[in-house]
A and B are shown apart, each in its own frame.
Chain A
Amino acid sequence: MPELPSDNKLIRDYAHGFVTPVEEEVVPPGLNEDIIRLISRKKEEPDWLLEFRLRAFRAWQRKTEPRWALVTYPPIDYQAIRYYAAPRSLSAGQAVDPEIARTFERLGIPLDERRRLEGVAVDAVFDSVSVATTHQKILEEHGIVFCSFSEAVRRVPDLVRQYLGSVVPPGDNFFAALNSAVFSDGSFCYIPAGVRCPLELSTYFRINAAGTGQFERTLLIADRDSHVSYLEGCTAPIRDENQLHAAVVELVALEGATIKYSTVQNWYPGDEQGRGGIYNFVTKRGDCRGARSRISWTQVEVGSAITWKYPSCLLRGDDSVGEFYSVAFTNRKMQADTGTKMIHVGRRTRSTIVSKGISAGESVNTYRGLVQIHPAAERARNHSQCDSLLIGDRCTANTFPVVESDNPTAVLEHEATTSRISEDQLFYLQSRGVDPETARSLIVNGFCREVFKQLPMEFAVEAVKLLEIKMEGSIG
């Protein structure tokens, strides 16, 4: 069963495409109230959480799948998906299964603290459950809660209950409702007032089991004047089938708090014919609830067959700041419809949008953005910059920036460009001895520079390497 694809080229293209041979405990496929009750029971959840799930499920049943995005895919049979899979060794309550530890090792995420990543605490999520969270001791010394979602429900139920669904309500949209009904695990983080988190916090999501979806939930609360930088990474095995990943991320920044949330998304994108790959349908939203709070999203999206995500900021506190920095690379038959929403409610709120779309192969890459200025948002400001780079002539890039302003004092700027790697730039680099492949990757990295420089140093280096690998062979 733990088959490795025989096609060597695939393995070369997507080094994370292996399967871990662990025995998993799964629920039968299908979605109904009984399945939800079963998941909740397995996780020994309190009644209020089961109620939350059931409310979401009923909302989901009334909703229809969104069809406005520029992506096409055959209908998803939601009754054919398994909504829960967990390594068996884990449910037995043992230490981390060596196979799973090896998996994360292979992905460059050692769970062994003696060989930990410098300055990074990791919560590792394997299919539906969190398998390990490192660096607990240092974090506890600062009063920081960083653990799996399930553990948070046991450890800090009041915090979870207070904030869960407060940014993305259970019935927010079709996929958020689905997630709210069946989410199995994810990461929880609380930074107490005045604390500057001494480590980079990181969640690593890994889909392993076949025929399952992954529905994780991240809830991050930064109390007054605290500061945290958070990074998530994702990979999955190479499989011919499409797998659904419908996550929800909620961020809450109270007065004076800063949250920096970075994502390197490298889900399996499917093969050259467009077979297989992850459907990445994700709802991410941050609430700048307090004055002078700040939420910054940085995303490097290089994987998934289909990406549908719009990390957004609700700028409620006066003088709060929202930022969105994005690189979305699509190749082959990948489709990405991604962007952001900046909702300005508070006075003097500011937002910045920098989106860099790179399309190659026969892919479709769409930026979709909304900047909304509410009547009370005196002197709000937004600067948006959306650039597209086309590689080859079979790909498509679209840009849909929407601005709605109900306050005349708002200052809004928008710039957009579409370009190709020019022959003259290539020739210039070649005339300096640089081979065309290196030249292209240098040009593309230059194109992404404003976004990469937002990433924590070591991840910026990773992102550059990852993009280089993804670009190999993308140009005929």
Chain B
Amino acid sequence: MTNAPQPLLQIEGLRAGVGGREILRGLDLEIAAGEIHALMGPNGSGKSTLSNVLMGHPDYEVGAGRVRLAGEDLLELSPEERARRGLFLAFQYPVAIPGVSVVQFLKAAVEAVRGRESVRAAAFLRELRETAAFLEIGEIFLNRPINEGFSGGEKKRMEILQMLMLRPRMVVLDETDSGLDIDALKVVARGVQRIAGPSAGVLVITHYERILNHIPPHRVHILLEGRIARSGGPELVAELERRGYDWLREPSAAPSG
């Protein structure tokens, strides 16, 4: 190799917030294809803001910085264009859409992302059934309105089902592990392992070590007050479990006016 590979996701000096309050204060992060990264941090550190800003939620304002996906400026694009470029966000709290079945929802999504022509009805349904079976989702769920009356675990599996059907190259999991029992967690991990590979990047946003035992990360980042306070290898997870976050807070980061 003559030159370093271009990072798949590249975040530079990102400042962003919601309702006039800045939450991300100069965040830098790079994820290369084939890598799984974990982003950990306490409540209020900016984890959810990052996932919303990456996907383009209209309520979030970007003050400065750049986000590129495979070299392309992501912040210029609408949420649907980001999805079509291969970005996928597994939501922490997926919303219900009454009367729209999982099949209808995914058909619209797959047609939009993968192209109407490339997806024939029969092939789509076969792929959907196989993928659902792989994630131990009963076929009966596919005809139910998406996320309506689903348990927390069922909603998270649905997110993973969508991820596998859309075949993204950059996946962001926003606290997908919260509220999952161990069996559901294993299923989610199995789904993520299927998408992870030489060409895809994964960012696992989490509070807990547990999910990282099933999806071992190459790199771990700790988010504090809107900035990456430390990056390291997998060993950082164990250290965090032992010592908490306080040792990472620099005295200068304390509010001083």
Contacts and interface: CB of A to CB of B under 8 A. Distances in A.
Nearest to B94: A428
Nearest to B108: A434
Interface residues of B, number: 28
Nearest to B112: A433
Nearest to B89: A431
Nearest to A451: B99
A112 interface: no
B64 interface: no
Nearest to A435: B80
Contacts of A445: 99-100
B145 interface: yes
Given A425-B97, A427-B58, A431-B89, A442 B112 contact: no
Interface in B74-109: 78-80, 82-84, 89, 91, 94-95, 97-100, 104-105, 108-109
A428 B99 contact: no
A447 interface: yes
Contacts of A423: 58-59
A432 interface: yes
Contacts of B89: 431
Contacts of A429: 97, 105, 108-109
Given A438-B112, A442-B104, A446-B145, A431 B99 contact: no
Contacts of B108: 429, 432, 434, 438-439, 442
A433 B113 contact: yes
A428 B106 CA distance: 12
Contact of B100 (A424, A433, A435, A442): A442
Nearest to A438: B108
A464 to B, nearest CB: 11
A434 B98 contact: no
Contact of A432 (B58, B109, B145): B109
B24 interface: no
B98 A447 contact: yes
B95 A428 contact: yes
A430 B105 CA distance: 11
B100 to A, nearest CB: 4
Contacts of B97: 425, 428-429, 442-443, 446
Contacts of B98: 446-447
Contacts of B78: 430
Nearest to B100: A446
Chain A's interface size range is 20 to 34
B79 A427 contact: yes
A432 B95 contact: no
A447 B96 CA distance: 12
Contact of B99 (A430, A438, A449): A449
Given A434-B109, A435-B112, A446-B99, A427 B166 contact: no
B83 A425 contact: no
A430 B95 contact: no
Contacts of B67: none
Given A442-B97, A445-B99, A446-B97, A433 B104 contact: no
A467 B94 CA distance: 27
Interface string A408-452: 000000000000001111011111111110110011011111100
Contacts of B104: 442, 446
Contacts of B58: 423, 427
Nearest to B80: A430
Interface in B108-142: 108-109, 112-113
9 smallest beta-carbon distances between A and B, as pairs: A446-B99, A433-B112, A449-B99, A446-B100, A432-B109, A433-B83, A433-B113, A430-B79, A430-B80
Given A431-B55, A443-B97, A446-B99, 6 more contacts: A423-B59, A425-B97, A432-B108, A433-B80, A445-B99, A449-B100
Interface of B: 55-59, 78-80, 82-84, 89, 91, 94-95, 97-100, 104-105, 108-109, 112-113, 145, 162, 166
Interface of A: 422-425, 427-436, 438-439, 442-443, 445-450
10 contacts: A425-B97, A429-B97, A432-B80, A432-B109, A433-B109, A434-B109, A435-B112, A442-B97, A443-B97, A443-B100
